[in-house]
């Protein structure tokens, strides 16, 4: 895969308004995080655990918003190949379908990385400036949490790229996205073992704070599982895209 293939994907993205969806994703998660603070009556910006409310808001907001919007951007960038017969025309130019899927993952992955890390930073900034939390932000925990959410987002993105590329009818991809949203949200109420079953359950494992005992408390992020998921799906993505290259166009 060359830089030109990735640059190509960015060129395709220009008129697909992917950036707009990314910005709205950030704003929606930020809004939900701030809503958690506004809606909890006993929130005190002076208490040392005040950041947990924002972390809990993000832990709920990301699984609520991201699975479907990731499905949308993956479907959007892949659908153009189906409608414009891009698979064949790019293959004649030396970029086979498998390579193109990897280029799409790199290009959209960059967008998702910037969006997820940006959301994490923006929530810290608004916690300091808008909410006025006095305690210093727990930067270590915040980093682990954001990186774990990023890993799960990238895994979900990779899977959606494969589905959108394989099945032409985007109903399937979006249907899986809706199902993923439901699974991501309800996995938080299920036992940890059940959350390991589907990729969306790992959003629940990346939860860094939760409501319990009359306030928001810190929860340990289950990062070994998330690293394992990222490695397994990474290898699977490489194998499947390799298979794409051996198919008849």
Partner 1 sequence: MDALTAELIKLKRSLAWPIVIGLPVVLVLAGAATQLADGTTPEDGWDTVWLQSVGFYGLFPLAVGIAVLGSLVWRVEHRGSNWNALMSSPASSLRIVVAKAAVIAGLTALMQIILYLSVLAIGKLAFSLEGMPDSQHLSITALLVVATVPAAVLQSGLSMLMRSFAVPIAVALLASGFSTAALMVAGNAALVSPYGLATRTALLGTGSFVDEGTITGGDVAAILIAAALGTVVLVLCTTAVLEHRDTRV
Binding site for partner 1 (CB under 8 A): 16-17, 21, 24, 28, 31, 35, 65, 68-69, 71-73, 75-76, 79, 83, 169-171, 173-175, 177-179, 181-183, 185-186, 189-191, 194
117: phi then psi, degrees, rounded to nearest 5: -65, -40
Asked if residues 134 and 45 have their Cβ atoms less than 8 Å apart, the reply is yes
CB of 149 to partner 1, least distance (A): 18
CB of 20 to partner 1, least distance (A): 9
Sign (positive or negative) of CA dihedral 130, 136, 141, 143 = positive
**Contact 221/207 with Cβ under 8 angstroms?**
yes
Nearer to partner 1, 83 or 140 (CB): 83
Nearer to partner 1, 28 or 117 (CB): 28
C-alpha dist (Å) from residue 27 to 16, 52, 68, 101:
19, 19, 15, 28
Length of the chain: 249
Cβ closest to partner 1, residue 62 vs residue 69: 69
CB of 185 to partner 1, least distance (A): 7
* In the complex, least distance from residue 242 CB atom to partner 1, rounded to whole angstroms: 26
Q: In a 3-state reduction of DSSP, which class is residue 213?
A: coil
Helices of type H across 40-85: 51-83
Contact 151, 59 (CB under 8 A): no
CB nearer partner 1, residue 176 or residue 230: 176
Q: Strands (DSSP E) along 76-198, which ranges?
A: none
Q: Between residues 26 and 96, which has the closer beta carbon with respect to partner 1?
A: 26
Tell me the closest approach of the beta carbon of residue 171 to partner 1, in angstroms.
6
Q: Nearer to partner 1 by C-beta: 169 or 247? A: 169
d(CA 49, CA 42): 12
Cα separation, 150 vs 152, whole angstroms: 5
Q: How far is the CB of 186 from partner 1 (least distance, A)?
A: 4
């Amino acid at each position: 895969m060359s830089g030109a293939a990735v640059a190509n994907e960015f060129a395709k993205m220009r008129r697909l308004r992917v950036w707009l969806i990314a910005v709205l994703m950030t704003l929606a998660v930020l809004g939900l995080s701030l809503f958690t603070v506004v809606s909890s009556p006993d929130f005190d910006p002076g208490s040392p655990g005040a950041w947990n409310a924002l972390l809990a808001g993000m832990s709920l907001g990301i699984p609520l918003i991201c699975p479907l919007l990731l499905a949308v951007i993956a479907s959007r960038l892949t659908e153009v190949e189906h409608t414009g017969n891009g698979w064949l025309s790019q293959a004649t130019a030396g970029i086979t379908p498998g390579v193109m899927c990897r280029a799409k993952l790199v290009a959209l992955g960059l967008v998702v990385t910037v969006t997820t890390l940006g959301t994490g930073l923006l929530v810290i900034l608004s916690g300091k400036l808008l909410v006025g939390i006095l305690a210093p932000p727990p930067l270590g925990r915040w980093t682990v949490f954001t990186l774990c959410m990023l890993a799960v987002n990238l895994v979900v993105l990779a899977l959606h790229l494969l589905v959108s590329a394989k099945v032409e009818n985007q109903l399937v991809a979006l249907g899986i996205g809706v199902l993923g949203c439901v699974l991501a949200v309800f996995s938080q109420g299920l036992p940890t073992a059940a959350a390991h079953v589907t990729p969306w359950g790992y959003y629940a494992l990346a939860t860094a704070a939760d409501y319990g005992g009359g306030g928001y408390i810190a929860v340990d992020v289950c990062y070994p599982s998330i690293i394992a998921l990222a490695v397994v799906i990474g290898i699977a993505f490489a194998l499947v895209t390799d298979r794409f290259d051996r198919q008849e166009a």
